[in-house]
Chains A and B, each alone.
Chain A
Amino acid sequence: GQNIDQPTEMTATEGAIVQINCTYQTSGFNGLFWYQQHAGEAPTFLSYNVLDGLEEKGRFSSFLSRSKGYSYLLLKELQMKDSASYLCAVRDSNYQLIWGAGTKLIIKP
């Protein structure tokens, strides 16, 4: 079956760096997405990786290793507003998105 694994919850300190991991086993691979979802709100797009390596976008970076079935989202200079759930999703061979359950990130002052 298809599976996306990410930690359920993580805690970090304001101003610090946090890495949220995502491992996947899917039928084919056509890209990996990260979305941010604040409590009670809609998911919003953060990043997209289809080739191996690091994609940087401001304070957020996303890394992909297709051979390892692994990605991470790196958040730098954490701010209180970064408290949210982070969703990992993989696009499979049928171009359907398979979603992880999300990682709830708690930022402490």
Chain B
Amino acid sequence: IAGITQAPTSQILAAGRRMTLRCTQDMRHNAMYWYRQDLGLGLRLIHYSNTAGTTGKGEVPDGYSVSRANTDDFPLTLASAVPSQTSVYFCASSDRGDAGELFFGEGSRLTVL
């Protein structure tokens, strides 16, 4: 059983470095999402994609970019990491673009120093 796979599981990087978090799903879901989770706050949507070839901005998109070249992959890139981007990042998917039941990856813990 795969579902959604994220990589890396954990990463420490220096401020100013570029970083790409990978996300792959094998459920053929149309919609994919990137969230960040910080202590004391709810999950916050960074970017989303309702179908391959399209992307949209969520609640906190600044400093992040995404692409959706195909159905399965949805990478998240931090062009120049800053300490405030230290967080746990979750990739999720749903078979519908209207935020139906979400299936989450195991998360990527990112620390920016």
A residues contacting B by CB (< 8 A) are 4, 30, 33, 35, 41-45, 48, 87, 89, 91, 95-102
Contacts and interface: CB of A to CB of B under 8 A. Distances in A.
A4 B101 contact: no
Interface in B17-51: 40-45
A42 B40 contact: no
29 contacts: A4-B42, A30-B98, A35-B102, A41-B106, A42-B104, A42-B105, A42-B106, A42-B107, A43-B43, A43-B90, A43-B104, A44-B104, A45-B102, A45-B103, A48-B101, A87-B42, A89-B42, A89-B43, A91-B99, A95-B97, A95-B98, A96-B99, A97-B43, A97-B45, A97-B99, A98-B42, A99-B43, A100-B42, A101-B42
A96 B45 contact: yes
Contacts of B105: 42
Contacts of B40: 101
A45 B101 contact: yes
Q: Which of A48, A97, A102 has the most CB of B within 10 A?
A: A97
Contacts of A33: 101
A4 B107 CA distance: 23
B106 A87 contact: no
Contacts of B106: 41-42
Name the 4 nearest CB pairs between A and B, nearest first: A99-B42, A42-B104, A95-B98, A99-B43
Given A41-B106, A42-B107, A43-B90, A87 B101 contact: no
